[in-house]
Amino acid sequence: MRNPTFQVTRRQMVRGLLATGAFGLTVKLSACGNAPTASGGDTLTAGFIYVGPKDDYGYNQAHAEGRASLDGMDGVKTSEEASVPETNAVQETIRSMIDLDGATAIFATSFGYFDPHVLALAQDFPEVQFFHCGGLYQEGVHPENVGSYFGYIDEAQYVAGVVAAHASSSKRLGFIAAKPIPQVLRNVNSFTLGARSIDPSVTTQVIFTGDWADPVREAEAANSMADQGVDVLTCHVDSPKVVIETAERRGIFASGYHANQAELAPQGYLTGAEWDWSNVYNNYITMMQEGKTLMNGGIPHLVRGGFKDGFLKLSPYGPGVSASAQEAAEAAKAQLISGELVIYKGEIKDNQGKVAIAGGKELGQTAVELEQMNWLAEGVMGSVG
Amino acid sequence: MASEALGWWGIPLAILAGTLRGSAPFLFVSLGECLTEKSGKINLGLEGTLLMGAMSAYAVSYLTGSPWLGVIVAGIAGMFLGVIHGWLSQQPRVNDVAVGIAMIIFGSGLAFFLGKPFIQPSAPQLPVISLGAWSQMPQVQSALQISPLFLAGVAIAPLMQWFFRSSRWGLLVRAVGDSPDAARAMGISIFKVRMASIVAGSFLAGIGGASLSLFYPGSWSERISSGQGLMAVALVIFARWSPVQCLYASLLFGGAQAIGPALQSVGIDAYYYLFNASPYILTLIIMIVTCSPKRTLTGAPGALGQAQE
């Protein structure tokens, strides 16, 4: 009973429509978030958007913890949505946060939200303030109700390197990195420079997995490095969970990233380079409650900082960190805060033997050269290409 | 310095270890797909089944504290998706490939939705069988920590081969897959045989998911499968629908996953994108070598992919 011509009967049409509807529903369900009711009066409503799940022990969890720290504040309401992709979906999310929740400040925490999504909506809603995490704001180019914020987390990686050098007995550290982009290379280099400030014979083996989240390859990389005698692992991937757990299973030390992963490795967790967004978000909200805005110039458009400005913190030291290691780490941290210690201070060679930063030259955290880093420091085993 | 560093010996060891650790999901999914395709239906949705299995195994293991219960629930969750696919794909003039793609989206969407609360907690993992106690080297000991699920998969492959070749039920599955008309003339219900094959295949794929979340890498996240389910479906084709060859192909793919990281760990860091892509390149090469425009694939079930009346 084959019918060679292609005809669509009404029944098939209805089926097709039902299927499409069901698909739409599934997509909606899988991206559902919570939306507290709209605010009135003097309450300030701020919307937070994350690109992934907010309990992934990683980047998004760090932001969600910062958001949660606002819960106790008076006169503030927050709404949040997790797992929002860097597509038009984020525009829809922002729209509904403004229209339905009455948000007057939007915190878009993923790098890819900025252009074109945040920029487009900033023009549609000139009275709403948009804060983007990633430091892309350019004066004169972008709308004045847009601001950006970012932290110099490589300072915390430097201190983690100091701790790792003390803990390592094989003098081989491992770094599992997603992609060879400047921010990642800066973390690899700072971690290594921190370790080599304690013992110049320490080397860091870097493995690039090629993807921000690829659990199997991350686990494979962690195991290969453990086989090669690496005894401290750290990483720069979206969710360090698999790396930290694998290190613990292999009985080696691990140093965290983004958020605190100490529960995952009660034996081997040394410390970790964590974001401390709670400070940043509290400051923003306080400024807004004082009537300052991006538009009236009360809030700076570009907010950046390291330890000194409260953008970063270290995870509490684990059982494998000796007293002398803690002392050295605290000293390094104090010097970073006071400004005595500049991480990128010449002469620094890259791992090909060329001079990357000339002798006597100091690159402070704001230096443009650091944002374009495309080399690995001496002592790093690996290559960027 | 202790004798820890293995140097170049690390590469073959890492590939061996990667094979033993990472091939179980490929093995279970490809065995499940082999059974399904032998009955004449394709189930592309096993990628979704794999994710659903991984999520439910992790969730149940976390909630009850028993990883084995998690494995069983993963299989049942797989069967649930299998029933949907088995019913939908056997409706008149329904294309099983299209249903399979819908099932990938449905299975993964459902797993992501239900799995949200289980990303953070750590669930109890399956016990490991250590076969490396004879060695003094911690690397070898670690490489030879084998998952009981992997051993089960290795046992299932020849059993399934025997099932197809020598058992009456295996004959029924093959008959339905090769010549549905003949099977119908024998008085066999094609619908029931195919449904049973799809559901059993999905059960195996669900178990494969449990191996991902409860053994290696041993965690639930939305990116846990990274396409392994789809690769395993492709793997059945060049395993020529033979369960034992599925086993070899799965071992090859599990090992290929370890090549990229292993080479970088000994300092070969050029072209790592290329090495990381080795499982996919391997797929392409094998497809090119085994396919010919002049003949159909030997071993392919006769009614595979044919529209139902």
pLDDT at position A16, please? 74
Task: Verify that A92 and A235 share a domain, yes or no.
Answer: no
Which residues in chain A touch residue B260, judged by CB atoms under 8 angstroms apart? 210, 217, 220
Task: Verify that A127 and A88 share a domain, yes or no.
Answer: yes
Q: What percent of chain A has pLDDT over 70?
A: 92
Nearest-Cα distance to chain B for A240, in Å, is: 11
Instruction: Provide mean pLDDT across the span A358-378.
Output: 90
Residue B309 to residue A242, Cβ atoms within 8 A: no
Per-residue DSSP letters for B41-68? ---TTHHHHHHHHHHHHHHHHHHHS-HH
Closest to B24 in 3D by CA, of B108, B183, B148, B142: B148
Task: Verify that A257 and A178 share a domain, yes or no.
Answer: yes
List the single best residue of A175, A202, A224, A258 to mutate versus B (max B Cβ within 10 A). A224
Tell me which residue range forms the domain holding A198. 154-273+313-381
Task: Verify that A159 and A298 share a domain, yes or no.
Answer: no
- Answer whether A206's CB lies under 8 Å from A191's CB: no
* Model confidence band, residue A1 (pLDDT cutoffs 50, 70, 90): very low
pLDDT at position B1, please? 33
Task: Verify that A184 and A158 share a domain, yes or no.
Answer: yes
**Residue A12 located in a structural domain:** no
* Model confidence band, residue A34 (pLDDT cutoffs 50, 70, 90): very low
- Answer whether B63's CB lies under 8 Å from B218's CB: no
pLDDT at position B295, please? 63
Distance from chain centroid for Cα A250:
26
Q: How far apart are CA A118 and CA A133, in angstroms?
A: 11
Of B2, B120, B276, the CB nearest to A217: B276
Task: Verify that A147 and A224 share a domain, yes or no.
Answer: no
**Residue A72 located in a structural domain:** yes
CB-based contact, A327 to chain B, within 8 Å: no
Least confident range of A112-116, A117-121, A331-335, B153-157: A112-116
CB-based contact, B269 to chain A, within 8 Å: yes
- Whose tokens are 């094959």? That residue is B197
Q: How far apart are CA A329 and CA A119, in angstroms?
A: 41
Per-domain residue ranges for chain B?
8-290
Q: How far apart are CA A102 and CA B278, in angstroms?
A: 50
**Residue A19 located in a structural domain:** no
pLDDT at position A136, please? 78
**Residue A374 located in a structural domain:** yes
* Model confidence band, residue A67 (pLDDT cutoffs 50, 70, 90): very high
**Fold exhibited by the domain B8-290:** ABC transporter involved in vitamin B12 uptake, BtuC (1.10.3470)
- Answer whether B51's CB lies under 8 Å from B281's CB: no
* Number of CB pairs, chain A paired with chain B, less than 8 A apart: 162
Pairing of strands B129-130, A253-258: unpaired
Task: Verify that A193 and A141 share a domain, yes or no.
Answer: no
**Residue A8 located in a structural domain:** no
CB-based contact, B106 to chain A, within 8 Å: yes
Task: Verify that A252 and A375 share a domain, yes or no.
Answer: yes
Instruction: Provide mean pLDDT across the span A183-188.
Output: 94
> Which A residues, 201 through 230, put their C-beta within 8 Å of a C-beta on chain B?
205-211, 213-221, 223-230
Largest CA-CA distance found in chain A, in angstroms, rounded: 86
Task: Verify that A144 and A241 share a domain, yes or no.
Answer: no
pLDDT digits (tens, 9 = 90+) for B84-131: 999 999 999 899 999 999 999 999 999 999 999 999 899 999 999 988
Instruction: Provide mean pLDDT across the span A285-291.
Output: 92
Residue A250 to residue B143, Cβ atoms within 8 A: no
A356 or B265, greater pLDDT: A356
Closest to A91 in 3D by CA, of A52, A123, A133, A134: A123
**Residue A39 located in a structural domain:** no
Residue B10 to residue A227, Cβ atoms within 8 A: yes
pLDDT at position A31, please? 46
* Model confidence band, residue A317 (pLDDT cutoffs 50, 70, 90): very high
* Sheet strands (E) in A153-223: 172-177, 203-208
Residue B224 to residue A215, Cβ atoms within 8 A: yes
Task: Verify that A194 and A322 share a domain, yes or no.
Answer: yes
CATH number (domain holding residue A328): 3.40.50.2300
Q: How far apart are CA B161 and CA B67, in angstroms?
A: 29
Task: Verify that A301 and A352 share a domain, yes or no.
Answer: no
pLDDT at position B306, please? 75
Nearest-Cα distance to chain B for A86, in Å, is: 16
User: How many domains does one find in chain A?
Assistant: 2
SS (H, E, C) A218-285: HHHHHHHHHHCCCCEEEEECCCCHHHHHHHHHCCCEEEEEECCCHHHCCCCEEEEEEECHHHHHHHHH
CB-based contact, B17 to chain A, within 8 Å: yes
Low-confidence ranges of chain B (pLDDT < 50): 1-3
CB atoms within 10 A of CB B105: 16
Task: Verify that A353 and A265 share a domain, yes or no.
Answer: yes
Residue A205 to residue B265, Cβ atoms within 8 A: yes
pLDDT digits (tens, 9 = 90+) for B222-243: 889 888 998 898 889 878 899 9
For all residues of chain B together, what is the average pLDDT? 89
